[in-house]
Amino acid sequence: MKLYELTIAKAHRGLKKKEFSCLELTKSFLDRISNLDKKIFSFLTITPDIALSQAKKIDDWILQKREIPLLAGIPLAIKDNILVEGVRCTAASKILENYIAPYDATVVKRLKKLGVVILGKTNLDEFAMGSSTENSAYKVTHNPHDLNYIPGGSSGGSAAALTSNFCIFSLGSDTGGSIRQPASFCGVVGLKPTYGAVSRYGLISMASSLDQIGLITKTVEDTKIVFGAIKGKDSLDSTSVESKIRNQPYGESRATAKFEIRNCKVGVPKEYFIEGMDPAVEKIIKNSIKKFEDLGIKIKEISLPHTKYALAAYYIIMPSEVSANLARYDGIKYGFSKKKAQSLLNVYLESRGEGFGEEVRRRIMLGTYALSAGYYEAYYLRAQKVRTLIQEDFKKAFQKIDLILTPVSPTPAFKIGEKITDPLKMYLSDVFTIAVNLAGLPALSLPVGKVSNLPVGLQIIARPFEEDKIFEIGQMFEQI
């Protein structure tokens, strides 16, 4: 196995046994990025100096015979809306083209303490608004399985970088499916944790009641390791909570946990197999569910009746929060400014008009309209009531079952340019992931097959703070 093909667990073992140095491991990724990313376009900023200096530090630890943490020396890529001190952070927008992060996001701080190696910042849809990574102000990322196809979005750069073996794991953010959908399209594992399980401090805000930092890995075991490192309460994020999640140490026998999970009941919502879904995707998902049944897991059809309203509610709540969060980019405080404008009002208007891309402007306008006098009750308030109904659907379902299985997307990845001119078609690619964000639940995308060389993902949803159940059932499936 080549160095860049290693998982976290295998790389850790290799470093401990001195089969290779951390510098060798890091250079293998930097060389690969340098040679191959000109076809994929997954990175916006590469940080070789930071990476090599962090790698040297880990080699020194090993020479000193220090016990190294599981993530020490593990190279990762970070979505370019998560701050890394001293590194450019653009959110793939022209308005933040020259913005240098003044501090580390909490997740970055936690990972740095464990000795990770940061290779660079990955491409995304501008301000994480999109489902294809075509909305970036800088470049379009390609799907490593077929360069004519999109990698998904908005964390498309993070998913494509991992799939291309440019890193061992990557960080992303998920507001309506932005980790799970690209993970599904690229054939890797993507986790959107429970809302509040991971601190959002240092994540450039899009929609604060929906955003969640998560991760993309090669295996469920790797997901479990990274999640264990970044979860937990943070005094700098009032929405974060102390983890109630039991986490087995790496290497511990899972026989007991396997026995428990075999007795669990799994629900399959009938509303997630809709007209217009790709028949080949539906067949793969149903075959995967059958495999769980063959393992002795009880499968039960359930109903989540308000699912059909999730997309509509999301596209009122999310733009409303976007319009408030993006008001800070006014051409005065920081970021791009149209200094030659004729008046102060024109500084605001021209800076925002030129600095923001088309999709960002569209969502700001939708949100401002939904929150405006006379429309607030008709749109925003009603959408929040629908959100409550969606949360109640999940609560009722989880009284009878332990986990829910659904498709991640109704189709595999689509061609670059296919949906970019039709926002409604693009929005529909998140139809199966959005309800999870509205309800604040944890969900994981697990690769389960391919349609014409394009991967398909299965979504595993759990109760709040029950990520451990997702990991158990996911690892069981990987071992089939």
Average pLDDT, integer, range 235-239: 97
Distance CA(372)–CA(104), nearest Å, equals: 35
**3-class secondary structure, 92:** coil
What mean pLDDT is predicted for residues 167-187?
98
How many CA atoms, within 13 angstroms, populate the side-chain half-sphere of residue 41? 18
User: Can you read off the two tokens belonging to residue 322?
Assistant: 């976007």
Q: Write down all domains in the chain, each with its CATH number in brackets.
A: 1-480 (3.90.1300.10)
Omega within 30 of 0 (cis) for the link into 28: no
154, 173, 199, 429: the active-site residue = 154
Is the distance from CB of 249 to CB of 281 less than 8 angstroms?
no
Asked if pLDDT for residue 400 goes beyond 90, the answer is yes
pLDDT interval class at 258 (50, 70, 90): low
* Residue 243 falls in the annotated catalytic set: no
Residue with tokens 């440019």: 166
Please state the rounded mean pLDDT for residues 46-62.
Answer: 98
Please tell me the predicted confidence (pLDDT) of residue 305. 96
Report whether pLDDT(157) > 70.
yes
Question: Would you mind telling me the total number of residues written for the chain in this entry?
Answer: 480
77-125: pLDDT as tens digits: 999 999 999 999 999 999 999 999 999 999 999 999 999 999 999 999 9
Contacts of residue 427, Cβ cutoff 8 Å, sequence gap at least 6: 131, 311, 315
CA dist 251 to 70, 162, 281, 472, Å?
11, 24, 34, 14
Indicate whether 247 pLDDT > 60: no
Structure tokens at 433: 């992931």
What does the alpha-carbon distance between residue 87 and residue 132 come to, in Å, rounded to a whole number?
Answer: 25
Q: Is 178 a catalytic residue?
A: yes
Among the listed residues 164, 173, 178, 205, the single catalytic one is: 178
**Other beta carbons within 10 Å of 24:** 14
Q: Which helix (H) or strand (E) holds 477?
A: helix 467-478
Q: Inter-axis angle of helices 310-325 and 358-371, to 10 degrees?
A: 100
Average pLDDT in the 163-177 region? 98
Task: Identify whether 372 is a catalytic site residue.
Answer: no
Strands (E), 168-286: 169-173, 189-192, 213-217, 265-269
Residue 276 sits at the vertex; the CA angle it makes with 370 and 308, to the nearest 5 degrees, is 40
C-alpha 144/C-alpha 161 separation (Å) is: 9
Match 């926002």 to its residue by tokens.
Answer: 423
- CB contact at 8 A, 94 and 354: yes
Q: In what order do the strands lie in the sheet with 169-173?
A: 43-46, 117-122, 75-79, 169-173, 213-217, 189-192, 443-451, 454-462, 403-407, 265-269, 298-302
Distance, CA of 460 to CA of 467 (rounded, Å): 10
**pLDDT (tens digit per residue) in 328-370:** 999 998 899 988 888 999 999 999 999 999 999 999 999 999 9
- The CA distance from 319 to 281, in Å, is 30
Options 28, 42, 79, 192, the catalytic residue: 79
**What average pLDDT does range 392-416 have in this prediction?**
97
Whole-angstrom distance, CA of residue 39 vs CA of residue 161:
11
Name the pairing type of β-strands 265-269 and 403-407: parallel
276-301: per-residue pLDDT in tens?
A: 899 999 999 999 999 999 988 999 99
Question: pTM for the complete prediction?
Answer: 0.95
CA distance 268 to 397: 10
Q: What are phi and psi of 311, to 5 degrees?
A: -60, -45
Averaged confidence pLDDT in the chain: 94
